[in-house]
Structure 1
């Protein structure tokens, strides 16, 4: 570029020195200027393309690749494996005494004089719950007791006469026949004593049955009698007891849930309106199904607690068994009109939709009954923002 500038200056000086410019010299000058401009343009183009190539060489593709990688989203994935999942059954039902004992009048009845217990009170076996007036029975018992004394006196007299006769028979004052008659008289007197004693025992038993007693140890649930009330054989139930205070929940289950439910299965019972839960176990499974509701009853044994009130409503979770299945958090399972699905990342790091069937749902997560074998890389979250076939950058999370 400097050489060409010198030529231009030399030509300019020559023109001045000659003092002449003709048309041919002007054309040559224009041509030279055009050549200089073309050389400048070529040099600029060479510099541009050379510099651009160098930028594209070491830095350009790397920068472009970085931009493309920056556009690939990071997703957290996990291989869930197989975990033991408890199969639980949800049920509702009512609370009741495991053995509900109705207590009524066992004897003749009469006027109730005292009621000795209240609902919620513990009683022992044979304890008196209420008493019935026994004034007439007491007089009858006294009369029978007096008859026992009379019979004993007659028996003693007959025994004495027999002994005297036996002493005189050897002297010939009394015949053997007379001794035999006196022996028979003595035996009859002794028999009358035993009859009188049996009558007394019977009357005492009848009098004792006037007391309304607990048939077993347990908890008084209801009281339906008051002092002054006349009771008898037709009075019905006066008290209800829970034998031993033991309670149960009568859980109503569908026919399909009862199948294969073993006795001894663990359960958790929560009364309605209570935040407390009580452990129990199934002690009896109904052998029949209601033909109208297609339901049966599983009876869950519970220990005594004041919060368990017979007749109340409760909910139960019954553990029917355990199975091996993948367990995922709620955020990993999506759903649409076609059903439930998850996104798994394949070997080429592409998001692939996988339809699944949901099993047991609990606080621990969602069990996958069908669709996964536990070895897949499952997207834990943000699956709703992915599209099938989209390339992602998986970030593996350790399985807990």
Structure 2
């Protein structure tokens, strides 16, 4: 009887110990919410600030020195045609030089006409004397003297003609310089700046600026990381300060960037009609092609003190495995996972600081 009681007591005690051990084990098991990597369709949008600029702005000045502005015929904001007269300059010395050369040219021309008449008369007289010399009416010496006089008059006439050609060349040069005093529009467009004022001297200063054909486009400075994502001839939107959208096409992407800022220029041709002015600010909106990316809730990432980012995977034995990952951009609470990762794994949804490699857990499906 005693033996039976001892056996019963031993069995009961064993059951008690087993239940205590199981209870202690259950107390060490952590219940955690888990999630799975998800493939999201993602469209990245780049917003790059910039300003409205002239596609081609032409600066106009005068190469002449000490030229005074005598008249200005256009105003800022006015449309002008190619070869239209914008302003006139005048130099008293230049004008006096042209007038003097004109007078000398006219005088030389009149003198040549006089010499020409004398040379023709001398030639006629020589012809008459030649016939008389052949008949012996006049001496050979008289004929040779007349012949020498005729040749001298011809030589004098040619010298005067050469001098006239030289005067004409000088006059042409001076008149060419005088023509430069007329400021002509090299292109059609709108006057964006007018610096010419009556009575001021040109002296190689800027007189006008013209926006060629009044073409305005948008210029933005993008970082190198953004430039690598942008394609030439892509369609974009440009938002002005009122948040109104304009359609455009990327016309130019700079082939070089600033050494210090790492910024490069982008030019956008605007296809919509608008009345924006140079210097107005705006934002270029560049929408990339949709891409599929693997993501996890950002809460599933734990960043260690050394900067390494880890996720906690629950394996088939319900044990924690720590795996380092590289991450990308964050959107709507989810982070892009750049490291290779299977989509059928269970990842702890909230990376707790107390989790360690090999911890035993009870995974619970998270709704994320």
Report deviation, 1:255: 0.6
Tell me which residue corresponds to 1:99: 56
User: Considering only CA atoms, is the larger Rg found in Structure 1 or Structure 2?
Assistant: 1
Larger RCO, structures 1/2 (Cα 8 Å, 6+ apart): 2
- Report the Cα distance in structure 1 between the residues aligned to 2:229 and 2:50, rounded to whole angstroms: 20
| Secondary structure of residue in 1 paired with 2:198 | coil
Counterparts in 2 of 1:209-220, with a 5 A limit? 209-220=180-191
TM-score (norm: length of structure 1): 0.56
| Secondary structure of residue in 2 paired with 1:90 | strand
Does residue 338 (structure 1) correspond to residue 300 (structure 2)? The answer is: yes
Tell me which residue corresponds to 1:396: none
Question: Closer, same or farther in 2 for the Cα pair 1:253/1:163, shift >3 Å?
Answer: same
Question: Closer, same or farther in 2 for the Cα pair 1:193/1:370, shift >3 Å?
Answer: same
Question: Closer, same or farther in 2 for the Cα pair 1:190/1:304, shift >3 Å?
Answer: farther
- Report the Cα distance in structure 2 between the residues aligned to 1:177 and 1:318, rounded to whole angstroms: 91
Question: Closer, same or farther in 2 for the Cα pair 1:266/1:164, shift >3 Å?
Answer: same
Does residue 248 (structure 1) correspond to residue 210 (structure 2)? The answer is: no
| Secondary structure of residue in 2 paired with 1:195 | helix
Counterpart among 309, 314, 322 of residue 289 in structure 2 = 322
**Ranges in structure 2 where 5+ consecutive residues have no aligned partner:** 1-38, 131-142, 302-326, 340-362
Report deviation, 1:390: 8.2
Report deviation, 1:220: 1.0
| Secondary structure of residue in 2 paired with 1:337 | helix
Report deviation, 1:110: 3.4
| Secondary structure of residue in 2 paired with 1:197 | helix
Size of the aligned set, in residue pairs, is 273
Q: CA RMSD in A?
A: 4.1
Higher-helix-fraction structure: 1
Counterpart among 226, 233, 236 of residue 203 in structure 2 = 233
Contact kept? 1:358, 1:370, Cα under 8 Å = yes
Report deviation, 1:243: 1.8
TM-score (norm: length of structure 2): 0.60
Counterparts in 2 of 1:111-130, with a 5 A limit? 111-130=68-87
Tell me which residue corresponds to 1:292: 260
Question: Closer, same or farther in 2 for the Cα pair 1:128/1:360, shift >3 Å?
Answer: farther
Report deviation, 1:202: 2.5
**Ranges in structure 1 where 5+ consecutive residues have no aligned partner:** 1-80, 327-332, 340-356, 372-386, 392-400
- Report the Cα distance in structure 1 between the residues aligned to 2:43 and 2:176, rounded to whole angstroms: 58
Counterpart among 184, 190, 194 of residue 155 in structure 2 = 184
Tell me which residue corresponds to 1:308: 276
Contact kept? 1:246, 1:303, Cα under 8 Å = no
| Secondary structure of residue in 2 paired with 1:231 | coil
| Secondary structure of residue in 2 paired with 1:233 | coil
Tell me which residue corresponds to 1:67: none
